[in-house]
Structure 1
Amino acid sequence: MPAWLLWLIAAGLLAAGEVASLDLVLLMVAGGALGGMTAALLTDSVPVQLLAFLVVSVGLLAVVRPVAKRHLVDRTPQQIDGVQALVGRTAVVSQRVDGSAGQVRMGHDEWSARTQLDGEVYEVGVEVRIVQIEGPVAYVGHT
């Protein structure tokens, strides 16, 4: 089996392993294996192939990986999940809401509610905005 084919198989296996790790290390080493493959196509010298593999791998790890990782992290928005995803949504008052008691309906869910500011009161049927959630209580304000 020719040496270039062994390097190509190694590059493929390393790239496939990257799918499991998702850390961009194996992908950079796979690039190094492609460097070794290129050297194998040009020469039969194993030390030259290994040197090409090491130089390309280290170069990719030192230069490309930090830039790629920074771009991936900076462009990935923070995901809001759980009840915090409800903040900013609107609800309809189902029982009069004031600073001490009340209920609102968001979709098919019924939530205990309080007004955000003292002295505010919302009557049944009024649309309000969820401004904060603490435990089982949704704090509401004007839409």
Structure 2
Amino acid sequence: MLEWINDFGWIIWLTVFLLLAVAEMLTLSLYFILMSVGALAALVAFLFGAELWLQIVIFCVVALATTVLIRPLALSHLHRGPADQLSNVDRLIGRSAVVLEAVSTGGGLVKIGGDIWSARVQGGTEIPVGATVEVAAIDGATAVITHPSTHKASGTAATTA
């Protein structure tokens, strides 16, 4: 068994690297990806002919060093900006939209900015094509819009679709 490890250790280190990378994709914690850097370092050590014990030490040292030194810097870059900053679809709430296909409680189409969204009206009757509405919420891939009669003329909804 030890002879096989000495001959094909690169397979083990590559497998460890891939498993740690997959674990990082599932957790997004920035621990596993930095540990996978240690596995790559051990792989390089194997390719240069290092003994198994040295490969394991290199893996541990590099994984620990990257976790201690790089993770805090990476997290600080990820958490830049104000805590209340809106992201993704939350930015669409309150924006104006133009109805492209009549919208009822059963569905329809609107254009928000440059994107076309499926939509449904939040209470009320069907909204005709060409009407300007306001996005009240986003429910999955559907924009929930308010009827023009309840459409507020606020500064946040002043952006055009």
TM-score range, shorter chain: 0.5 to 0.7
Equivalent residue for 1:109, pick from 147, 153, 157: 147
2:54 corresponds in structure 1 to 48
- Residue 154 of structure 2: which of 106, 129, 139 is its match? 129
Given the alignment, which residue of 55, 58, 62 partners 2:64?
A: 58
Q: Distance in 2 between matches of 1:61 and 1:52?
A: 14
Give the counterpart of 1:86 among 60, 69, 94.
Answer: 94
Distance of 1:5 and 1:75 partners within structure 2:
42
How far the C-alpha of 1:5 sits from its partner, in A, is: 2.0
Q: What is aligned with 2:143?
A: none
Deviation at 1:50, TM superposition (A): 0.8
The unaligned stretches of length 5 or more in structure 2 are 98-130, 134-145, 157-161
Bigger Cα displacement from structure 2, 73-82 vs 20-29? 73-82
Q: Which has the larger radius of gyration?
A: 1
1:5 corresponds to 2:14: no
1:15 aligns with 2:21: yes
d(CA) in 2 for partners of 1:43, 1:75: 46
CA RMSD of aligned residues (A): 3.2
Partners of 1:35 and 1:129 in 2: CA distance: 57
* Residue 31 of structure 2: aligned partner: 25
2:76 to 43, 66, 70: 70
- Identity between Structure 1 and Structure 2 (%): 24
For this pair of structures, how many residues does the alignment match?
Answer: 103
Letter paired with 1:8:
L
Distance 1:113 1:7 in 2: 60
Q: Secondary structure at the match of 2:154?
A: strand
